[in-house]
Structure 1
Amino acid sequence: MQAFEKGIYYAKKYNMDLYIYNMYDSLSYHYAKFKKWEKAYETRVILAELSTKLDAINQSGKLQILEQEIQNNRSNLEIRNQKNIKIFLFIISFFLIVLIIVIYKLYQTNKEKRILVENENQRMRDKLTELSNQISNKNNISKHNADRLSERQTEIVNLVKKGLTNKEIAEQLFISENTVKYHLKSIYTLLGIDSRNSL
């Protein structure tokens, strides 16, 4: 720009109008090349004034070409901007749709998991209730059957619960080991159990 201003200064000093015109013409193309449309337009206005002053028909043709080029560039820029906006909006819309689908799928998955967990919890509660009822019934039956045990059988049950062997029970009650086994068999049948561990 400094060289341009210096050139204009000397051209004006020595009244070299054609040189001034050519300098502004070059500057105008320079601005258009770097897409500085406003400055290119201002330079074109100056060129129009210089063209009138010089009555240069040839130069006037160049101005029209430049004006057309500027107009075309502006139109192309607007078209490109519109295209970019449409592409941007399409991409945003696409990602929004994908996001909505992902959120919906997550919601459905969580809902299904929650239902499965609730069903499993209910099944476990039902099973627990069933087991509690069975234990309660078994205890009631055992209690009822325990009332039917003889005094000797009750003694044997108490000694088994203390962890004594058949031999130790026989020694403590002054009976034979076979008698202890016989009593235990009767006790199992009466209480509805199959081993001493259930006593």
Structure 2
Amino acid sequence: MFNFCRLLFVYIAFFVTTVGFAQKTNPDSLKVEILGLNDKNQHEQSILVLDRIIGSSSSTAHDLFHAYLLRSLTYKSLYNYTGALINLDLADKVGQGTDFAESASSRVLIEKLFIYFDTKRNEEFAALLQQVTPEKLKHIDGETRAIYECIMGHLEMHKGNYSVANAIYDNCILLLEKESPKHLPIVYKVKVELYNLMGQQDKAIAAYEKGMSYAEQFGIDLYKITMLETIIYFYADNGNYKDAYLAQLEVTKQRRKYDAANRSGKLNDLEKELLQQRNDITLKNRKNMTIALTGVIVLLSALLFLLFKLLKSNKQRRILMENEVVHMRARLESYVNRKEHREEDDNVLLNLEKYDLKKRHIEIIDLIREGKTNKEIGDILFISENTVKYHLKVIFEKLNIDNRSSLRG
């Protein structure tokens, strides 16, 4: 029985291990890890890290939401906006009905707003912008808020409100210097555009150099390309085609190095491979689960069978004991009845006066009660043993008994 229970425990442990327990991933640590890999152009490694979370049965809705959100940012950094939007939809779906649903929907909304702005999908951008409320902005971090404000400054700039836009940009710079200085090229890029529109070319060049210095400091190739593209337009707009051409050559070089299209294609292939692996693992786990459950069912069936046999054996033993008790009670009652009958017979024998017994008969009865044998009785009464036997026969007939034991009192 001990070995059986131990084996059952092993099966249950396997079952629990297979199912797993929900574990919550630290979103801040995960974000630092993934964005750090993306900054180093290690996008495939980012996908592998996130896929382990997405493919794990122990991941919570919270884990999955952040994994999809960060996978969206990974695709966005390679200009794969379709892949980015798909993952944002997945993140939004995971967040629905959870205790962080409002926060999730707000963050997805803002990230989609950024994509529509970058891809100049003006109608979709305008529709989402109307959904942004101060309450929704409470759910985004300082880094994301700075990028959002930067877009608001860009809108003011195109309305001709240059001073308002410049004040917004300066506030964004202060916010990013505190929250995440590696993203400062985003603000200095629009600063170049603003100063160019204001006719302040020197400030525009200074803003470009500032933004490029941050891109080089943090080694983010994507921001280097962004700053170079901005300065190309600046040079061309001011008739400096030579520098514009040189900047274009550098952009081409940087883009070839960054190789966003090829990297994005590799990520798509990697995701397909990971999906296939995950499906294979799922099938294998289902098979193992079936085997484990079958084993547990067999063991439980065996346990139930043993319990049934044990109960049946106990029932049979109980029946035997009850029968033995009945027999003992019957024997006891029989013994008591015999004793009562003997006492009744003794009472009858003691009352000898109502029988027609001679004096010699009474003497013989008294000697029998003393335990004397026929021979001893003959010697005492000076008669032969056969005479004693004769008297006993007469006594038995008169008292209506069968043996001498009935004469003992």
| Aligned residue identity for 1:170 | G
Shift of 1:162: 4.1
Q: Please report the TM-score for the alignment, with normalisation by the length of structure 1.
A: 0.57
Partner of 1:156: 364
Is structure 2 residue 300 aligned with structure 1 residue 92? Answer: no
Give the drift of 1:146. Answer: 4.0
How far apart are the structure 1 equivalents of 2:337 and 2:285?
A: 77
Q: d(CA) in 1 for partners of 2:365 and 2:309?
A: 62
Match of 1:72 among 270, 276, 290: 276
The count of aligned residue pairs is 167
Query: In the alignment, which of 126, 136, 143 is matched to residue 340 of structure 2?
Result: 136
Paired amino acid for 2:351: D
Q: Specify which of 139, 148, 171 is matched with residue 379 of structure 2.
A: 171
Partner in structure 2 of residue 182 of structure 1: 390
Instruction: Give 2:321's aligned amino acid.
Output: V
Q: Structure 1: which 5+ residue stretches go unaligned?
A: 1-27, 29-36
Query: Which of 335, 346, 351 lines up with 1:147 in the alignment?
Result: 351
CA distance in 1, matches of 2:373, 2:400: 20
Give, as a single letter, the amino acid of the residue that structure 2 aligns with 1:186: V
C-alpha displacement of 1:169: 1.6
Specify whether residues 164 and 195 from structure 1 end up closer, same or farther in structure 2 by C-alpha distance, changes over 3 A only. Answer: closer
Q: Is the 8 A contact 1:142 1:191 kept in 2?
A: no
State the distance in 2 between where 1:132 and 1:158 align. Answer: 26
Displacement of 1:119: 3.2
Q: What's the counterpart of residue 328 of structure 2?
A: 124
Q: What SS does the aligned partner of 2:296 have?
A: helix
Q: Contact 1:146 / 1:191 at 8 angstroms: preserved in 2? A: no
Residue identity opposite 1:179 in structure 2: T
1:83 and 2:287 matched: yes
Q: Is the 8 A contact 1:166 1:180 kept in 2?
A: yes
* Structure 2: stretches of 5+ with no match in the other structure: 1-43, 53-73, 79-220, 222-255
Q: Is the 8 A contact 1:145 1:191 kept in 2?
A: no
- SS of 1:138's equivalent in the other structure is helix
Paired letter, 2:291: I
Q: Within the alignment, does 1:193 sit opposite 2:396 as a pair?
A: no
Q: In structure 2, do the counterparts of structure 1 residues 167 and 113 end up closer, same or farther at CA, with 3 Å as the change threshold?
A: closer
How far 1:80 sits from its partner (Å)?
1.0
Cα 1:75–1:198 change in 2 (3 A) is farther
